[in-house]
């Protein structure tokens, strides 16, 4: 199958170049090319998607990262690890990625270019035109396999005049942000865009120990691109992004009920270790789009390079068992043995997406696409662990630091083909059907060494596995009247299996995990009686087999991905807006998800329990005001419902993040290109955890930001 798809890709590419050359005498389009996914006509409206969040809303709600979008769309949540996207778990209607080794359930696209794995998602948002959260299977519409949904981000595109903007803001915790933006035409048929963003903060998780680091942050982000339209009508887009993050200690702290003697207060840390995280990310893309006799053809080639070097965490402070050991040794006046975790990893991702689309004016709209993706991961993980030389844990004097070193290389090559058809039926109904085939080849080479003399040697791991799966979609949208319509659709899809790089061979557990298969259904009702009111109600139910769950091995440094035999998720989503006057808009988005492990043979204690990382509900409320005189204001809230994090023993005791609500507000004024604003996030100073780390003893939490109040100033010319 690999060889066949390679031949098909090469053949399709030759058609593209030949057709574009044959069409060179066609007139150039009147507008500059746009790489971003274009707005869809009514025939292609996706009822599983939230209304796009425009750039002004992104600014007004203080959305600066992907994790800030959590709860904005119904049943969409980001369990944020606060190391950019490294270790984040993104859930949509209960479908998610695992923390380190599984395929993403929710895909990120920025300006039509796919991101790599969830670990390497570009997390910073600036110069955003709109954000669209598409819920449910999207694999027939997008190149990357998207079983749970898509986050579709568009940045500001060049217009027909030059635009430049300077922006600066300052807030609590010495939070600073500076931005330079510029875009515009370079000729009648070409344009450019440029953006540079710098952010820094002293952090809100203070370290009581002067020898260690606070949870500071400093980042530099940029993007640069060019667009051309040739005389033959070929549209060319070329660009890239780069990001650098220098982070102090991760804001992970013991919890009051976690049994950790290091706990002092909600935000405080007490670590003598210089904990740091350094991340570099860059990406490049080339887009070619042209009209042919067959239809509109588009090729997007992209490369993504990501590196974390290093990520250092003090385990003696955050793990309750290691903290207790340290406290006992301190009582006996013994030297401290600091247990650490150090991770260095580099990921490189190449992607090619080729699509052919019919004319949008045709009665039947169709699209076919070919996809190739290649990913390579090189990693090193080191743990320094206090261990008793005689394996007697009660001998406090017999402990010394032992090391565990793991080196791994994993690779994945994926080939796919997708197609969709949208056909108008009787009474203005529309049928959408899609089909997708994927083939994935995965490899893992891994070695591990332990310094403890009584621990057995670990054999090297060399694994290889192929995964094949088909996905399908069928949906009908039927208008009952000019203001009321309903849609019903059903899909089946899958996520490929893989391997864990952090599990020793020869144990009762397997380094391999199976592919995840899901059957998804939804029914949607849309009522829009006027331009001042509208409501969309969607019910969904999903049946998932071999649900991928990443788990630590108790009393060990190992991690593996288990497959829960059966999981069900079902719920409802309500989105509504109301405009009592032209300047004022009220909107709401509510999502309720009932998720449950129905069958889990390898961990039966979880049967009947809520699925980890999936909040029970989300609620977003927004009140926005804007008048013609340049005055604007916004008041909004995001509520994340109770979320379960099952601990590393697999018992019936869950670590729970209770429901929390974040209140944000802003007020601004613009005149003659100048803008000034006052903003505030988490105005009620709610204490919450953005995620709980159940792989460590006591399940410490990553604290979310307390109240931040600031002032912004901008000039556009």
CATH number at residue 439: 2.40.170.20
Question: Exposed, middle or buried by CB within 10 Å (0-12, 13-18, 19+), for 588?
Answer: middle
State the DSSP code for 554: T
Q: Which domain holds residue 185?
A: 2-716
Calculate the alpha carbon distances from 215 to 218, 221, 315, 322, 324 in Å. 10, 20, 16, 21, 23
pLDDT at 343: 97
What digits encode the pLDDT tens for the residues 67-77? Answer: 999 999 999 99
- Which pLDDT score is estimated for 64? 84
C-alpha–C-alpha distance, residues 107 and 549, integer Å:
18
**Cis amide prior to 571 (ω within 30 degrees):** no
Residue identified by tokens 């780390």 is: 693
**Tell me, what's the pLDDT at 242?**
93
Q: How far apart are CA 716 and CA 162, in angstroms?
A: 11
Residue 521 and residue 490 in contact, taking contact as beta carbons nearer than 8 Å: yes
* Cβ-count burial 496-513 (b if 16+ within 10 Å, e if not): bbbbbbbbbeeeebbbbb
Amino acid 7: pLDDT: 38
Burial of residue 346, with CB atoms counted within 10 A of its CB: 0-12 exposed, 13-18 middle, 19 or more buried: middle
Q: What is the pLDDT of residue 20?
A: 40
Q: For tokens 């203001």, what's the residue?
A: 483
Per-residue tokens: 585: 């808009």
| Closest C-alpha among 434, 489, 567, 676 to residue 49 | 489
What is d(CA 596, CA 612) in angstroms, rounded to the nearest whole number?
9
**What are the distances in angstroms from CA 428 to CA 43, 44, 241, 422?**
10, 13, 43, 12
DSSP 3-state of 686: coil
Tokens for 117? Answer: 């794995």
Percentage of the chain surpassing pLDDT 90? 72
Q: Is a pLDDT exceeding 70 seen at residue 107?
A: yes
**In this predicted model, which residue has the larger pLDDT, 19 or 614?**
614
pLDDT confidence of residue 660 = 97
From CA 102, how far away is CA 401, in angstroms rounded? Answer: 31
In 332-437, alpha helices (H) = none
Q: Burial letters for 256-281: b for 16+ Cβ neighbours within 10 Å, e otherwise?
A: eebebebbeebbebbbebebbbebeb
Q: Which of 408, 409, 389 is nearest to 399 (CA)?
A: 389
- Dihedral angle of Cα 116, 119, 121, 126, to the nearest 10 degrees: -170
d(CA 384, CA 341): 7
How many other C-beta atoms can be found within 10 angstroms of the C-beta atom of residue 528?
15
Q: Which pLDDT score is estimated for 37?
A: 33
pLDDT tier, 122 (very low <50, low <70, confident <90, very high otherwise): confident
Determine if residue 427 is left, alpha or beta; phi over 0 gives left, psi from -120 to 50 gives alpha, anything else beta.
left
What pLDDT score does 40 carry? 37
DSSP 570-597: EEEEEEEEEEEETTEEEEEEEEEEEEEE
State the pLDDT at residue 229.
95
User: Which is higher by pLDDT, 446 or 694?
Assistant: 446
The model's pLDDT over 484-507, given as tens digits with 9 standing for 90+, comes to: 999 999 999 999 999 999 998 877
In the chain, the number of structural domains is 1
d(CA 245, CA 281): 9
DSSP-derived letter for residue 82 is S
Condensed to tens digits (0 to 9), the pLDDT of residues 514-554 reads 999 999 999 999 999 999 999 999 999 999 999 999 888 77
The dihedral through the CA atoms of 11, 368, 98, 516 has a sign that is negative
- Tally of CA atoms within 13 A in the half-sphere of 335 that contains its CB: 8
Q: Does residue 52 have a pLDDT over 90?
A: no
3-state secondary structure of 58: helix
DSSP string computed for 153-209: EEEPPP-SS-EEEEEEEEEGGGEEEEEEEEEEEEETTEEEEEEEEEEEE--SS-BSS
Most confidently modeled of 334-338, 344-348, 505-509, 655-659? 344-348
pLDDT mean across residues, the chain: 89
User: What is the per-residue DSSP string for 487-507?
Assistant: EEEEEEEEE--EE-TTS-TTS
Q: What is the per-residue pLDDT across 617-637, written as a single tens digit (0 to 9) for each?
A: 999 999 999 999 999 999 999
3-state DSSP assignment of residue 601: helix
Q: Which of 652, 541, 559, 641 has its CA nearest to residue 607?
A: 652
Cα–Cα distances in Å, from 661 out to 131, 679, 681?
22, 17, 11
pLDDT over 90 (residue 638): yes
How many residues are recorded in the chain? 717
- Quick one: pLDDT at residue 553? 79
Sign of the four-CA dihedral 494, 132, 423, 297: negative
What pLDDT band is residue 28 in, cutting at 50, 70 and 90? very low
Contact yes or no for 279/299 (Cβ under 8 A): no
Average pLDDT (572-576) is: 96
Residue 56 CA to residue 195 CA, distance in Å, equals 17
Matching residue, tokens 């009620």: 684
9-23, 244-258, 674-688: least confidently modelled range: 9-23
pLDDT in the model for residue 206 = 87
Strand order in the sheet with 89-92: 76-79, 89-92, 95-96
Q: Kind of pairing, strands 149-155 and 106-110?
A: parallel
| Cα(599)–Cα(546) distance, integer angstroms | 9
The answer to whether 241 touches 223, Cβ cutoff 8 Å, is yes
Torsion sign across C-alpha atoms 213, 174, 66, 221: negative
Helix (H) or strand (E) holding 72: none
Instruction: Kindly give the pairing relationship between strand 190-201 and strand 217-229.
Output: antiparallel
Distance (Å, rounded) from C-alpha 576 to C-alpha 51?
Answer: 10
Mean pLDDT value of segment 158-170? 93
What's the rounded mean pLDDT across residues 382-410?
89
Cα–Cα distance for residue pair 437/709, rounded to 1 Å: 49
DSSP tag of 88: -
Taking residue 333's Cβ as centre, other Cβ atoms within 10 Å add up to 6
Residue 509: how many CA atoms within 13 Å on its side-chain side?
22
Cα distance between residue 213 and residue 234, in whole Å: 52
- Statement: the pTM of the whole predicted model exceeds 0.85: yes
pLDDT of residue 682: 96
Give the residue among 52, 96, 49, 76 at the shortest CA–CA distance from 638: 76
pLDDT of 649 reads 56
């Amino acid at each position: 199958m690999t060889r066949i798809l390679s031949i098909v890709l090469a053949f399709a590419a030759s058609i593209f170049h030949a057709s574009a050359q044959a069409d060179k005498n066609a007139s150039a389009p009147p507008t500059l090319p746009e790489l971003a996914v274009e707005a869809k006509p009514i025939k292609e409206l996706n009822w599983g998607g939230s209304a796009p969040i425009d750039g002004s809303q992104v600014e007004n709600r203080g959305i600066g990262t992907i994790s800030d979008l959590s709860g904005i769309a119904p049943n969409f949540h980001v369990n944020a690890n606060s190391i950019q996207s490294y270790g984040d778990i993104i859930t949509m209607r209960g479908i998610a990625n695992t923390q380190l080794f599984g395929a993403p359930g929710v895909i990120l696209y920025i300006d039509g270019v796919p991101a790599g794995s969830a670990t390497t998602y570009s997390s910073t948002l600036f110069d955003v035109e709109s954000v669209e959260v598409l819920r449910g299977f999207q694999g027939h519409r997008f190149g990357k396999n998207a079983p749970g949904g898509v986050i579709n981000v568009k940045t500001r595109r060049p217009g027909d005049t030059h635009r430049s903007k300077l922006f600066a803001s300052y807030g609590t915790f010495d939070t600073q942000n500076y931005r330079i933006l510029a875009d515009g035409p370079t000729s009648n048929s070409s344009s450019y865009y440029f953006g540079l963003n710098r952010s820094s903060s002293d952090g809100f998780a203070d370290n009581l120990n002067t020898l260690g680091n606070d949870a500071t942050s400093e980042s530099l982000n940029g993007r640069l691109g060019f667009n051309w339209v040739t005389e033959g009508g070929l549209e060319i887009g070329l660009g890239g992004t780069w990001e650098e993050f220098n982070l102090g200690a991760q804001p992970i702290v013991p919890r009051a009920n976690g049994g950790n003697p290091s706990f002092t207060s909600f935000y405080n840390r007490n670590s003598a270790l210089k904990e740091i995280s350094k991340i570099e990310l860059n990406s490049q893309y080339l887009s070619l789009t042209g009209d042919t006799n067959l239809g509109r053809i588009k090729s997007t080639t992209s490369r993504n390079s990501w590196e974390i070097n290093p990520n250092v965490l003090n385990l003696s402070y955050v793990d309750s068992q290691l903290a207790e050991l340290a406290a006992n040794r301190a009582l006996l006046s013994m030297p401290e043995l600091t247990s650490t975790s150090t991770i260095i990893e580099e990921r490189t991702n190449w992607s090619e997406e080729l699509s052919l689309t019919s004319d949008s004016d045709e009665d039947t709209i169709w699209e076919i696409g070919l996809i190739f993706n290649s990913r390579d991961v090189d990693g090193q993980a080191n743990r320094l662990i206090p261990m008793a030389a005689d394996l007697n844990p009660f001998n406090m004097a017999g402990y010394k630091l032992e090391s565990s070193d793991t080196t791994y290389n994993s690779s994945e090559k994926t080939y796919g083909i997708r197609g969709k058809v949208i056909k108008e039926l009787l009474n203005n109904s529309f049928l959408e059907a899609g089909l997708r085939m994927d083939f994935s080849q995965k490899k893992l080479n891994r070695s591990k060494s332990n310094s403890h003399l009584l621990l057995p040697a670990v054999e090297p791991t060399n694994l290889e596995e192929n995964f094949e799966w088909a996905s399908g979609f069928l949906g009908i949208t039927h208008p009952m009247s000019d203001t009321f319509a309903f849609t019903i659709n059903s899909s089946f899809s899958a996520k490929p299996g893989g391997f864990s790089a952090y599990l020793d061979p020869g144990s009762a557990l397997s380094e391999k995990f199976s592919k995840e298969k899901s059957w998804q259904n939804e029914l949607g009702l849309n009522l829009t009686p006027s331009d001042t009111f509208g409501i969309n109600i969607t019910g969904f139910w999903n049946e998932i087999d071999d649900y991928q769950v990443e788990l630590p091995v108790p009393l060990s440094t190992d991690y593996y991905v288990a497959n829960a035999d059966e999981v069900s998720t079902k719920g409802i989503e309500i989105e509504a807006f109301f405009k009592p006057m032209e300047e004022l808009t009220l909107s709401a988005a509510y999502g309720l998800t009932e998720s449950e492990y129905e069958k889990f043979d390898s961990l039966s204690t979880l049967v009947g329990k809520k699925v980890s990382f999936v909040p029970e509900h989300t609620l977003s409320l927004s009140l926005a005001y804007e008048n013609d005189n340049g005055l604007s204001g916004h008041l909004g809230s995001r509520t994340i419902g109770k979320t379960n994090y099952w601990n590393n023993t697999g018992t019936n005791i869950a670590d729970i993040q209770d429901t929390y609500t974040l209140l944000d507000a802003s007020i601004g004024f613009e005149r003659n290109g100048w803008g000034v604003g006052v903003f505030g996030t988490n105005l009620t100073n709610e204490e919450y955890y953005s995620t709980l780390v159940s792989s460590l003893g006591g399940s410490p939490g990553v604290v979310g930001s307390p109240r931040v109040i600031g002032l912004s100033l901008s000039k556009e010319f």
